[in-house]
Amino acid sequence: MNHLIVFVFISSMCIGLNEASCKKNHVVFHNQLIPGSILSIDCKDNMGIRKSDQLSFNATPYIVAFSDYNWADETQWTCIISHGPNNKFYYGLEVYHSNYQRCGQLRSWIARVDGIWFTRRFWDPPGWVLPWKTQ
């Protein structure tokens, strides 16, 4: 019985330490449109947290860093990105979604003239995923 108590104690400590060391997830936006262009970014999660920014051409990427909600709640981030005169070109994206807690996830979204590009890994080249909608 003593061995069982020690085993349960050590197991719970390991699980607790693992949760504490969970790296934040990152949704990253890049503006690779044309010189002089501004990319507008307006994001919110399913719990009401909002983040927004204006990103110049080839500026330092805009990063939304966050931790997933606990295992009982899903985590969802949606963003509207837009550019051009009166933000004529736009797209509403679900940029991140998870039904369970994840650590260190990357979602990289790149705005280019021909559309929106995406990758999940730093070392993988992005691929074209969506065209721009127009108002």
* DSSP code, position 135: -
- Bridge-based pairing of strands 75-83 and 38-45 is antiparallel
CA separation for the pair 29, 118 (Å, rounded)? 10
| Domain residue extents for the chain | 24-134
Q: What are the angstrom distances between the C-alpha of 12 and each of 8, 9, 15, 48, 68?
A: 6, 5, 5, 32, 21
Q: What is the pTM of this model?
A: 0.83
CATH number of 24-134: 2.60.40
pLDDT digits (tens, 9 = 90+) for 125-134: 999 999 999 9
pLDDT digits (tens, 9 = 90+) for 53-74: 999 999 999 999 999 988 668 9
